């Protein structure tokens, strides 16, 4: 079973960096008259909560199976992903509402120094996104990938803020709202990312079957065992970063119960050897029933 430790450390790193950036952007935005930067700080504050949620979710998901949870606690990882995605959607809506209010309310042009603050934030968050996303892919964790996309969303809102602030400063009087329009563009990107992350998380929570190629690999591994004559009812679900397989295998009905048990064990071992992401496989042995006129294969 894969370890969640790298994902937990990534969440902790994101938590510390986000806390520092929230304070920096909020102070710079308020002092420098940039609502796009304030909106960016608001989005970063959701990053703090998302990192906490991912951290907590992975801590729970890493617990071993027990009597109350025989399949383990891996669903906590999918639940954390869904919560983070919903937070992205909520942050996007909140930013749009506040930006529209700022557009309708005349305000001062952002200060020049806010451009340098935003540029630094873009670089930091993009580097953090790449690091955390690689970790998420390496351990197969949607929650860690969702946390990474939160960092990318923050980088995009900061980039939009940079463009808006630059236009407002360059255009002078009458261009102050460019800063707020930039916040709306960033919010649309955040909303799209939240929607993209929410769908697979819900699929995992609903135990949707994984892609067909994984099922085909499971079937191929089962047939690699001598004595397996047919397979049926292949059911696969994702639990955290691992998969659990339920498979019916047909064998010669003349086999003893002991021989059938040995075949089932070999099938389980073959599947887990071919697919390390499969944490467990439950093999149901059944008698092979050839069609009329067909003989049992040797």
In a shared domain, residues 117 and 246: no
For 242-289, how does the pLDDT look when each residue is reduced to its tens digit (9 = 90+)? 888 999 999 988 899 999 999 999 999 999 999 988 888 999 999 987
In a shared domain, residues 228 and 89: no
In a shared domain, residues 150 and 273: no
In a shared domain, residues 173 and 147: yes
DSSP run (H or E) holding 282: strand 278-287
CATH code, domain with 279:
3.30.70.1350
For 182-236, how does the pLDDT look when each residue is reduced to its tens digit (9 = 90+)? 778 878 877 887 888 788 888 888 878 887 788 889 999 999 999 999 988 889 8
Write down which residue in 205, 237, 270 finishes a domain: 205
Domain count, the chain: 2
Write down which residue in 178, 205, 232 finishes a domain: 205
Instruction: Answer yes or no: are the C-beta atoms of 178 and 197 closer than 8 Å.
Output: no
105 burial class (0-12, 13-18, 19+ CB within 10 angstroms)? exposed
Q: Domain for residue 92, yes or no?
A: yes
Q: How confident is the model at residue 142 (pLDDT cuts 50, 70, 90)?
A: confident
Q: Where is average pLDDT lowest: 158-167, 234-243, 285-294?
A: 285-294
Q: Domain for residue 239, yes or no?
A: yes
Judged by phi (left if over 0) then psi (alpha if -120 to 50, else beta), residue 27 lies in alpha
In a shared domain, residues 239 and 177: no
Which residues constitute the domain of residue 219?
Answer: 212-287
In a shared domain, residues 29 and 166: yes
> Which is more confidently placed, 270 or 176?
270
Q: Domain for residue 242, yes or no?
A: yes
What is the DSSP annotation of 229-260?
Answer: -EEEEEEEEEETTEEEEEEEEEE-TTS-HHHH
Instruction: Answer yes or no: are the C-beta atoms of 59 and 186 closer than 8 Å.
Output: no
Q: Domain for residue 296, yes or no?
A: no
Q: Which residue has the tokens 């506040």?
A: 98
Interatomic CA distance for residues 86 and 92, integer angstroms: 10
Main-chain phi, psi angles of 218, to 5 degrees: -65, -45
Q: What's the confidence (pLDDT) of residue 107?
A: 65
Q: How confident is the model at residue 128 (pLDDT cuts 50, 70, 90)?
A: confident
In a shared domain, residues 171 and 31: yes
DSSP run (H or E) holding 156: helix 142-171
Q: Domain for residue 295, yes or no?
A: no
In a shared domain, residues 155 and 236: no
Interatomic CA distance for residues 125 and 148, integer angstroms: 9
pLDDT, average across residues 142-149: 76
In a shared domain, residues 148 and 272: no
Check pLDDT > 50 for residue 141: yes
> Which is more confidently placed, 157 or 155?
155
Interatomic CA distance for residues 288 and 220, integer angstroms: 18
Cα angle for residues 115, 118, 121 (degrees, 5° grid): 155
Q: What percent of the chain has pLDDT over 70?
A: 92
Q: What's the confidence (pLDDT) of residue 1?
A: 43
Q: What's the confidence (pLDDT) of residue 213?
A: 84
Check pLDDT > 60 for residue 294: no
Of 205, 237, 210, 207, residue with least CA distance to 75: 205
Q: What's the confidence (pLDDT) of residue 4?
A: 63
Instruction: Answer yes or no: are the C-beta atoms of 89 and 194 closer than 8 Å.
Output: yes
Q: Domain for residue 26, yes or no?
A: yes
> Which is more confidently placed, 35 or 68?
68
In a shared domain, residues 192 and 49: yes
Q: Domain for residue 166, yes or no?
A: yes
Interatomic CA distance for residues 289 and 56, integer angstroms: 49
CATH code, domain with 59:
1.20.1510.10
Q: What's the confidence (pLDDT) of residue 263?
A: 94
In a shared domain, residues 83 and 218: no
In a shared domain, residues 239 and 133: no
Q: How confident is the model at residue 291 (pLDDT cuts 50, 70, 90)?
A: low
> Which is more confidently placed, 282 or 176?
282
Write down which residue in 187, 205, 223 finishes a domain: 205
Q: How confident is the model at residue 77 (pLDDT cuts 50, 70, 90)?
A: confident
Q: Domain for residue 263, yes or no?
A: yes
């Amino acid at each position: 079973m894969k370890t969640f430790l790298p994902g937990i450390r990534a969440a902790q790193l994101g938590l510390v960096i986000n806390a520092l950036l929230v304070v920096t952007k909020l102070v710079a935005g308020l002092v420098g008259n940039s609502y796009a930067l304030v909106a960016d700080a608001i989005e970063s504050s959701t990053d703090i909560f998302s990192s906490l949620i991912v951290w907590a979710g992975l801590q729970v998901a890493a617990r071993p199976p027990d009597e109350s949870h025989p399949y383990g606690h891996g669903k906590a990882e999918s639940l954390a992903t869904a919560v983070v995605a919903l937070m992205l959607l909520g942050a996007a809506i909140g930013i749009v509402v506040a930006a529209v209010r700022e557009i309708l309310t005349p305000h001062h042009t952002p200060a020049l120094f806010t451009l340098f603050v935003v540029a630094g934030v873009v670089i930091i968050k993009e580097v953090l996104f790449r690091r955390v996303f690689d970790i998420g892919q390496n351990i197969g964790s949607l929650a860690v990938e969702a946390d990474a996309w939160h960092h990318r969303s923050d980088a995009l809102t900061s980039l939009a803020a940079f463009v808006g602030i630059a236009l407002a400063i360059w255009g002078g009087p009458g261009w102050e709202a460019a800063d707020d329009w930039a916040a709306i563009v960033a919010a649309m990107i955040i909303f799209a990312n939240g929607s993209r992350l929410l769908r697979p998380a819900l699929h995992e929570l609903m135990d949707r079957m994984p892609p067909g190629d994984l099922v085909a690999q499971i079937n191929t591994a089962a047939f690699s065992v001598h004595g397996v004559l047919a397979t049926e009812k292949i059911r696969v679900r994702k639990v955290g970063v691992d998969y659990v397989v339920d498979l019916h295998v047909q064998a010669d009905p003349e086999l003893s119960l002991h021989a059938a048990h040995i075949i089932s064990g070999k099938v389980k071992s073959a599947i887990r050897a071919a697919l390390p992401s499969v944490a467990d496989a439950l093999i149901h042995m059944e008698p092979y029933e050839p069609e009329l006129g067909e003989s049992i294969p040797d």
